Structure 1
Amino acid sequence: MANWSDPRPGIAGFGGVAASRGEAFDAGLRSYMLSVYNYMASGVLLTGVVAMLFASSGFAYQVLAGPGILKYVIMFAPLVFVMVLSFGIQRLSTVAAQALYWAYAAVMGLSLSSIFLVYTQTSIAQTFFATAAAFAGLSLWGYTTKKDLSGFGTFLIMGVVGLLVASLINLFFQSSTMNLVISFVGVLLFAGLTAYDTQKIKSIYAYVAGTDMMGKSVVMGALNLYLDFINMFLFLLRFMGGNRD
């Protein structure tokens, strides 16, 4: 005869429910992170294609090296898109946020077409793959590490602000030594931000899962990782890039 008063079946039942919920959460998290990475990678790909096509068309040199206001529009338009997405995400619909992300990636491609006028395609490709390998390793570490990286956020963001100030100052001094230092520090900062942002995006899932914010959270997560990748690539290109003759 079964012992109906034995509490173990009940405990096992609750344990099974908890395990099931845990598995569902993990599956949802993997799907969420995969969406973030897909958006980020697609944005980088779109930027690269637009940059190559614009540079090879011959218009890039005419626009970016010549007089006129259009080159300044191309230079500063990406910043406008980032600000709209960052500060207006609460008021935007998911579809609008996605559209702005793709538009930003395309406009960024127009802006980055200038690198094809300065560096050889071989050095650009080598730097891209080196950046991709470093990004993958850093993002994987940020996703899997048990260490809380939130304490590094303020330090890294302050470092980026300091980097911007140093870059503006160097526009006047044109110091090659300072330029190398800025590039080295830039690579380190955005390497750190890659791991930090990955862990932050992972932790946000618990708050947005099953809500209307989930789609927009994917876009913002992709945007953050996109910016980390592009900036790390550009700073690394200063070391690895071979100038055109």
Structure 2
Amino acid sequence: MSYQFQPPRPYGATASTSTLLGQVLGITGLGLCITALAAYLFRGMAPGFLALGALILGFVLLFAIQRMRANEPVALLLFYTFTFLEGIGIAPTIAYYAHVDGPSVVVNAALTTGLGMLGLGAVVYATTFDFRRLYGVLMMALMAIILISIVSLFVHFVSPTAISWVILFIFAGLTLADFARIRAGGDGSSAVMLAVSIYLDAINIFLALLQIFGGRRSND
């Protein structure tokens, strides 16, 4: 995960940052397509060691991508490998919601994620506020909700849907901050590393929406 603090650069869209935006969106878009393909191919597998193993290996690859960030071709290959493993890891979750709540829930979550992220990106480029300032608060909130989620596995004091709403707002904020980094020229990060951040934002927003939409359908 490429959430790192570096000296801020001048804030504003230029030709070079527009090129960077195109590169990041292209890399991220292909990564999401790979994830969708992997999730489809492995949709029928039983949730168990394969999905868990894929998620663990994917987590390891995130550190490998960070270490190889100076070598963009290698980092890009590792990123696409990570997106494939992520698809395997979330395949059982997607299959579950598609089976219990219907395929429309998955489609709606995916469409809402895509349109929502485009809207958040548009907000960043249409305003002068530097959303990078939100990073500190958002990262503390993310650590807190992760801790609450772990505790909630043993002591059920917060509903999964409530946690999903918090995660949704946190990653929406991180999406704003990441697009702000792109607008500012990347803050020293390459297109690949910025794509990793945008990809993680998208996946977490999608999973949160899947829980929210699925929970709403179950309560009807």
Q: How would you bin the TM-score normalised by the shorter chain?
A: 0.7 to 0.9
Deviates more, 1:150-159 or 1:177-186: 177-186
Q: Report matched runs for 1:86-125 at 5 Å.
A: 86=66, 88-90=67-69, 92-120=70-98, 121-125=103-107
- Aligned residue in 2 for 1:77: 57
Fraction of identical pairs, as percent: 25
- Picking from 118, 123, 128, the partner of 1:141 is 123
Of the candidates 199, 205, 208, which is equivalent to residue 232 of structure 1? 205
Partner of 1:194: 175
TM norm structure 2: 0.84
Structure 1: gaps of 5 or more residues: 1-24, 209-215
Q: What is the CA-CA distance between 1:98 and the residue it aligns to?
A: 0.7
Equivalent residues of 1:143, 1:195 under 8 A apart:
no
| Per-residue deviation, residues 126-173 of structure 1 (Å, max 9, x unmatched) | 111011111110112123320122221100011111111011111112
1:50-96 deviations in Å (ceiling 9; x for gaps)? 101111xx3x21xx24xxx544312311211112223x145x41111
Give the conservation status (yes or no) of the 8 Å contact 1:52–1:116: no
Q: Which runs of 5+ in 2 are unaligned?
A: 1-12
Displacement over 6 Å in runs of 4+: none
Aligned-partner Cα distance in 2 for 1:137–1:84:
31
Q: When the two structures are superposed, what TM-score results if normalisation uses the length of structure 1?
A: 0.76
2:159 matches 1:178:
yes
Partners of 1:193 and 1:70 in 2: CA distance: 30
CA distance in 1, matches of 2:148, 2:178: 24
Letter in 1 for 2:139: I
Shift in alpha-carbon separation, 1:115–1:71, aligned structure 2, 3 A: closer
Question: Greater Rg, structure 1 or structure 2?
Answer: 1
Q: Conserved in 1, the CA contact under 8 Å of 2:51 and 2:90?
A: no
Tell me if the contact between 1:138 and 1:194 (Cα under 8 Å) persists in the aligned partners: yes
For structure 1, which segment, 108-117 or 32-41, has the greater mean C-alpha deviation from structure 2 after superposition? 108-117
Distance (whole Å) between structure 2 residues aligned to residue 81 and residue 145 of structure 1: 35
Query: Aligned partners of 1:220, 1:130: CA distance in 2, in Å?
Result: 24
| C-alpha RMSD over aligned residues | 1.9
Q: Looking at both structures, which has the greater relative contact order when contacts are Cα pairs under 8 Å and sequence separation is at least 6? A: 2
Deviation at residue 201 of structure 1 after TM alignment: 2.2
CA distance in 2, matches of 1:186, 1:153: 14
The 1-side partners of 2:165 and 2:29 are apart by: 24
C-alpha displacement at 1:191, in angstroms?
A: 0.6
Q: Distance in 2 between matches of 1:142 and 1:229?
A: 16
Structure 2: distance between partners of 1:73 and 1:167 = 21
Number of aligned residue pairs: give it. 200
